[in-house]
Each structure stands twice: as structure tokens, then as C-alpha cells.
Amino acid sequence: MATLLASILPAACSTSAPALLLRAFPRLRLRRPLASPPRMSSSSAAASPAPADAAGGERPTAAPFGSWRSPITADVVSGASKRLGDIALAGDGRLLWIEGRPEEKGRMVIVKEDDKPVDIIPQEFAARTLAQEYGGGAFAVQDNVVVFSNYKDQRLYKQPIGTGSLPVPLTPDYGAPDVSYADGVFDPHFSRYITVMEDRRTSSLNPATTIVSINLSNGDVHEPKVLISGNDFYASPRIDPTKKRMAWIEWGHPNMPWDKSELWVGYFSESGDLTERVCVAGSNPMLVESPAEPKWSPKGELFFVTDRGSGFWNIHKWVEHTNEVVPMYTLDAEFTRPLWVFGINSYDFLGKSNHIVFTYRQLGKSYLGVLDCDSGSVSLLDIPFSDLSNVVTGNDYFYIEGASGSIPTSIAKVTLDENKTKVISFSIVWSSSPNVMQYRSFFSTPEFIEFPTSSPGQKAYAYFYPPLNPMFEGLPDEKPPLLVKTHGGPTAETRGVLDLSVQYWTSRGWAFLDVNYGGSTGYGREYRERLLKKWGIVDVDDCCSCARFLVENGKVDEQRLCITGRSAGGYTTLASLAFRDTFKAGASLYGIGDITLLRAETHKFESRYMDNLVGSEGAYYERSPINFVNKFTCPVILFQGLDDKVVPPDQARKIYKALKESGLPVALVEYEGEQHGFRKAENIKFTLEQQMVFFARTVGKFEVADDITPIKIENFD
């Protein structure tokens, strides 16, 4: 690869170019000089001008939407945001978390809270598991010891915190990273670690998934011992305080865990095997539910979240002696998220008390509260976050992951009063973008909107970000271009939080729309199931309907509607361009053009996902954009990681080749070493800049203020 790159990239740019393959490489520039605004280099974050408001209260300069100069450069975006992984509490009550660092090529590092945060694992290690490709649940802690999954070899390692000791392997070296572990817990009674194991040695497309125990005693490394097997998938092994029982989640093809799953409890024998087992929830064929997040209370009672009856994920409790499941707090809201990754922790018990700190989503906003399990009383807590995710608790305090329209993804420590009903202190201990507030005058605040879909009387939801830059305003009688983002999943949810990759567009004069189309989570099962058998129809219709809604309300320019999406959102993007005429250009990031091919090539976790999303064989053909290239009418740019196992590179290559042969403007960028989602700072930057200049050149009617070298667009340059 190095030799190939050296032969096709000019020496002058070799130090800054990402490690990628480009489908055409002439160094082209936008060379029609712009009178206003002047050009600004985006070659380094240090070169970015300091944020400034219009001087002296002067009226902002009028300039075409999309051409505005902004200090939020692609360098700022790619270098500012760390990725947040799992969180947990160490034995001393301090927080541990995993952060992904773009400047270290996306390396995931376990960090401990201190006066100055301390890296726990050595530089040559990274805490990331490839279980089910999406990972999560990559480490656990007990007292002062962590067990983590190392990215390079996928083995489990044990390491004491703060002793200077090196990590010690717990699992065998199989010669290749073909066995992954996730979502583990300590079992001190038997001196072992219990975890989900995915074994790809026999088949990478159909690996065996089990729950196993790992010996924690010092000495020789042993083969994991299988405790539970026989189903397609497992998650969330959780041991009760008496060490006599374990709960877990399991499910089988063709269901995804949010479609239908089961919660089981097993009883340990004296030897540590699980002998007697009982299904607590999910086995009744007349009751469709998807239990998740089992958790034992300090009293030894089993709590979990399920959507039985109401269709909303609410907190329930299992009454063991009667084998009944009872609701603890009923609300038309979602108290958990779909199990795309291991280690989700949407609620937790406060220390040894019978109080639960919980979070839930309702109509585009997160809420935080405390549930007294004895009295049933609920106290809602007010903190600055409007979006909440994972929570871990101490005795009278907890750490919570959150964000808002003006606060980037952060972790805050929250302390409660003696009654555990009010917040007495709130402090942010970690931020994904600690220096971001210097750009706050450029931030566009998301507007939560409800819009009519193509189905009479039906509504869907989105976040709209209007263009905003204190130094500029649009020209008279001009409407801004619009970029519509289609989230991945598709069973997922976009949230209205501060994201510099969004502000990159809005601060340059673009309007930005993030759509929670039918099928998204956060709005209950009925909303989520709008997409069943209708993927490529409902999502496409909703994105088009929302864009037209903004046009009809005078918010955006109908002739400059663009669309972008990642993964399943890339499929929605390509399907929108193939089967509708709403958009004038599109960008697909590791998206899907051939859903028949995807079904054959994708990994086990999603290999039957499309059975419910698509339906019949005929529908697979009819909804694959690759089969209807003749219906595309506008430019497309594609981005793809060459190590992607979820959406393999053939997807991008096939649609690129077909569009090129059809005569449409098209470009393809391939990144060596990237998987499903780009983690390297240089690739994040390049992708953002190339989307911007691609849209500007093909439909924008403006020149960008940044100095960007565009790649060649086939059938255009």
C-alpha cells in the first residue's frame, strides 16, 4: 500500500494525506477567486483563526450561504472529539472510562479519574473488543483490578490499577484475533471472570457465541469453560449479591435483541455450573417483548427493562417466589436503548440502598430520576444535560454520561441530598471536546420538529439546525442549502446534541437536518416497527417528507437539497437518490447498494436482520439501488473502509462502477485500515472536507471559504 500511495500522491502532500486509495487523483482546486469571504487554510488546527463575532456590533457581512468562513475547521472537528466507551467505578469510588483518541489512530484507552486523569493500560494495549463487530463491554473492574479485552489480539488481560504492573493474559493465544470477549463480570466466589465469548475460529460468518468462565488465579492460562450455550446470541451475564444465581439475556435468529429476546436466571451448583434454569421473561409466545439490562438489587431482587404490554421499555421486577413480573414505573417512554453494543447501563442502584437512578427518553429528550423501590415514589432530577446515556453509582452520588445542544458528550458527577431526591452538586469530570466552548458563538441550536409523513395523520421527528455564523448572513432572497443526515442502524436514534461535525456545516451557511424516521428508537415499539418489511420505503419517504416540509416552510432552497448517511443511513441515502427525485446530490459512507449481497456477506449479528426489515426475495431486488442505477439522476460520492466486516468494500465498489458507467458524476474514497466507522483523525478530516467541496462543486452555487483540494469526480472533471 505504501508503494502504491507513493506512486499516486504528490510528494508535497505525502505527510498530510490519509492512508487511502482514491478513485482519481489529480490535484484539483476551486480556483474562481471569491471576493467575500476570503479563503482560510484548513491545513492545521493551529492555523485556524480565533473565533470572533462581528466586530463592534457591526452588521454581519452578506455572503452566499455555504461560502461563509468558519473557525470550526475539519482539523478542529477531527481532533476535538474523543470517543467515549464504557464507564465503571473502581474500588475507591473513582471513575474509570474508556476514551478513543483520534490522534492515536482511534486507540481506546482505559483512564482513571484523578486530579489529572491517569491512563491505566500501557501504550501498546488498547481496550476494545470485536464481539459482534460493534463491541462494547470491553472491561470490568473489581476493587483495584481491571480485566479488559485487548484490541490487537482480542485476548483478555488482568491488571492491577496504579501498581505499575503489566497486564497479564487470562485467555489463550490462538495465533490470530479470532476469539473475542465482552460484557464480563467478576465472580469472586469461584475466583473467575464470567463473560460472553464469540469464537470465529471455525467460521467468521457464523461464529459460536457462548457464556464462559475464565480462571482468575495466577498461573497457567486455561481454556475458557462454557457455562451456557445453544442459542445464537448472549449478553449481560449478571451475578446476584449472594453469588448463588446469575441472570442473562439471550436471543436467536431471525430476531434482533430489540425484536424478541429472553431473560433467564440460572442457579450455581457447588462446582460453579449452572444446573437449574428458569426463563423469567420472553418465553410466552402470546407476549412479544424484548427484555434487557438485568440487574440485581442490593437485596438480591432481579430488576430489568422490558417493553411488554405498553410497547415502551420500562423498569420491571421479577418476584421469584411467585415467578411474576411486575412493573416498577410505567411511562410511555424508553428506559433503555437497543442492544447494538454490550455494556449498556441506563439505570443503577445507589450504593446499598433500594433507590434506582434511571434515565429515559421521551419525544426527543432525556430525563433523569430516582425511583424509591420500597415506596414507588419518583423524583425527577434537573441537570444541564438534555441527552443521557450510561450511569454508574456510588452511595449518594453517581456519574452520568450526557450532552446537550450546547454541551458535547461529557461525564458528570452528580451528588444527591440525604433523601436522594435533589441534586446538591453537579460537575463535569470528562469532556469529549474540552476546548469546544471557544466556538460557542458559532453553535447552531437544534430545533426538535414534528413533521407529517406520507401516511395520512402520521407524524415523524427530526432535529433542524439553521445556519449560524456571527460574522455572516445570507444574501437577500437566498435560501440556504440543506444537508439531510440519515442515521445508521436503522434501529437507532439521532439525538440533538452538540456535534462539531454538524456545526462544521451550519457555521458555513448550511442548514442541517437530522431525521428520526419511522423505525427509529426512542419512541416505542410501534414507531420502531414502522420499518418492518418497509426498509427502503418508510425511511426514504420520511427523509424526503421532512426535506419538503422545510422547503414548504421557507427554511431551505429546494434546488440545493443534499443527503448523507453512514451504514444503514448510507443505504437510505442511496435509496433516496435511486427511487425519489427530492435530492440533488448525496454522500454514502460505508453504505449499502445491494441488500441481497449484504445478506450473504455481513457478520452473524446482522445476518438475519433484513429478514424482518425487507421481507420477500422480490423485495430484496426491488429495494437494492444497484439494480436501478438508471434511476439515479444526480452526483454521488462514496467513502469506504477496506477492513469493514459489516458492510464489505464490494458494496461501494459495485455502486461506484455502475454509476460511473452510467455517466453520472461519482467519486469513491477508500481508507486502508478503517473498519465500520472511521476512527483516524486524518480520515475523519478528509471525509468531511471532501463532502463539503463535492456538494459545493456539484449543486452549491458557491465556493467554499476553505482551501480544499478536491478529488476528481468521474464524469464531471
Beta bridge partners of 199: 179, 208
Q: End-to-end CA distance of the chain, in Å?
A: 26
Confidence of residue 659 (pLDDT cuts 50, 70, 90): very high
Express each pLDDT in 373-403 by its tens digit.
999 999 999 999 999 999 999 989 999 999 9
H helix or E strand, kind and range, residue 539: helix 538-552
Task: Give me the pLDDT at residue 676, please.
Answer: 86
H helix or E strand, kind and range, residue 44: none
Q: Are the beta carbons of 380 and 326 closer than 8 angstroms?
A: no
Among 290, 321, 319, which residue's Cα sits nearest to residue 302? 319
| Residues 625, 630, 631: CA angle, nearest 5 degrees | 65
Task: Give me the pLDDT at residue 679, please.
Answer: 82
Least confident of 30-39, 109-118, 626-635, 650-659: 30-39
Task: Give me the pLDDT at residue 163, please.
Answer: 79
Task: Give me the pLDDT at residue 217, please.
Answer: 84
C-alpha cell at 584: 440533488
Confidence of residue 218 (pLDDT cuts 50, 70, 90): confident
- Answer yes or no: is pLDDT of 18 > 70: no
Express each pLDDT in 289-310 by its tens digit.
999 999 999 999 999 999 999 9
Residue 343, Cβ density class (10 Å: 0-12 exposed, 13-18 middle, ≥19 buried): buried
pLDDT > 90 fraction of the chain, expressed in percent and rounded? 83
Q: How far is CA 274 from CA 194, 225, 239, 277, in A?
A: 12, 12, 12, 7
- Answer yes or no: is pLDDT of 220 > 90: no
Among 32, 33, 8, 38, which residue's Cα sits nearest to residue 21? 8
DSSP conformation letters of 472-489: EEPPTTPPPPEEEEE-SS
H helix or E strand, kind and range, residue 42: none
Q: Are the beta carbons of 155 and 170 closer than 8 angstroms?
A: yes
Helix, coil or strand: residue 629? helix
Helix, coil or strand: residue 562? strand
- Answer yes or no: is pLDDT of 34 > 70: no
Task: Give me the pLDDT at residue 366, please.
Answer: 98
Give a three-class secondary structure readout of 345-369.
CCEEECCCCCEEEEEEEECCEEEEE
Confidence of residue 1 (pLDDT cuts 50, 70, 90): very low
Among 155, 124, 123, 122, which residue's Cα sits nearest to residue 138? 155
Q: How far is CA 445 from CA 17, 436, 510, 513, 676, in A?
A: 33, 15, 13, 12, 29
The C-alpha atoms of residue 198 and residue 180 are separated, in whole angstroms, by 5
Among 360, 428, 370, which residue's Cα sits nearest to residue 400? 428
Q: How far is CA 121 from CA 95, 130, 164, 499, in A?
A: 15, 18, 9, 28
β-strand 179-187 against 192-199: which pairing, if any?
antiparallel
Express each pLDDT in 466-505 by its tens digit.
999 999 999 999 999 999 999 999 999 999 999 999 999 9
Beta bridge partners of 325: 318
Helix, coil or strand: residue 651? helix
Whether the link from the prior residue into 49 is cis, omega within 30° of 0, is no
Among 24, 32, 10, 22, which residue's Cα sits nearest to residue 715? 24
- Answer yes or no: is pLDDT of 30 > 70: no
**632 vs 10, more confident:** 632
- Answer yes or no: is pLDDT of 453 > 90: yes
Express each pLDDT in 131-169 by its tens digit.
999 999 999 999 999 999 999 999 999 999 987 889 999
DSSP 241: T
* Largest Cα–Cα separation, the chain: 81
Task: Give me the pLDDT at residue 38, please.
Answer: 30
Helix, coil or strand: residue 77? helix
- CB count, 10 Å around CB of 26? 11
Task: Give me the pLDDT at residue 82, please.
Answer: 86
C-alpha cell at 406: 450546547
